[in-house]
């Protein structure tokens, strides 16, 4: 199976030893690394303490990576949502649901103890074309 690194300048560049996404050509699967609410240009945290602003930024970052691979939110088959506070679930679910024109993908939502730099949310995913 051949793999291709997918990168978008409209999403934050990796800050560690990982790629934004990897496209597996043999299976036509795109594996998207967890996206955080950082502005892709300034690399600054967006909406400190604001779950709505952070969720929108994370979704925008995912959208940029999907588009770089020629895909959309409807290409997602599995999503993982990681929340610093499960009390934010309803807000996140509402904003997330707006991004899909057809049935949303399978999803896991996990409460995490703490993110670095006051992040409230991270989302990763697997998409197919």
Cβ(15)–Cβ(51) under 8 Å? no
Give the count of domains, the chain: 1
The residues near 8 (Cβ < 8 Å, ≥ 6 apart) are 20, 40, 64, 65, 67, 68
Count the neighbouring beta carbons within 10 Å of the beta carbon of residue 120: 25
All residue ranges of the chain with pLDDT < 70 are 1
Rounded CA gap, 116 and 24, in Å?
Answer: 30
What is the per-residue pLDDT across 23-58, written as a single tens digit (0 to 9) for each? Answer: 887 778 999 999 999 999 999 999 999 999 999 999
Q: Indicate which CATH number applies to the domain containing 50.
A: 3.30.1330.40
pLDDT on residue 28: 84
Taking each helix axis from N to C end, the angle separating 89-97 and 51-68, rounded to the nearest 10 degrees, works out to: 40
Domain that residue 116 falls in: 3-128
pTM for the model: 0.88
pLDDT on residue 1: 63
Q: Which DSSP string do the residues of 80-112 spell out, in sequence order?
A: EEEES-GGGHHHHHHHHHTT-SSPPPEEEEEE-
């Amino acid at each position: 199976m051949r793999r291709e690194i997918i990168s978008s300048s409209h999403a934050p560049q990796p800050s560690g030893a990982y790629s934004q996404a990897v496209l597996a050509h043999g299976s036509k699967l795109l594996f998207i690394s967890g996206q955080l609410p950082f502005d892709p240009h300034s690399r600054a945290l967006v909406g400190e303490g604001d779950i709505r602003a952070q969720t929108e930024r994370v979704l925008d970052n995912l959208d940029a990576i999907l588009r770089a691979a020629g895909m959309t939110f409807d290409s997602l088959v599995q999503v993982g949502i990681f929340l610093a506070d499960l009390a934010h679930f309803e807000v996140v679910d509402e904003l997330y649901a707006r991004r899909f024109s057809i049935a949303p993908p399978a999803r896991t939502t996990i409460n995490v103890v703490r993110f670095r730099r006051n992040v409230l949310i991270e989302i990763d995913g697997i998409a197919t074309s």
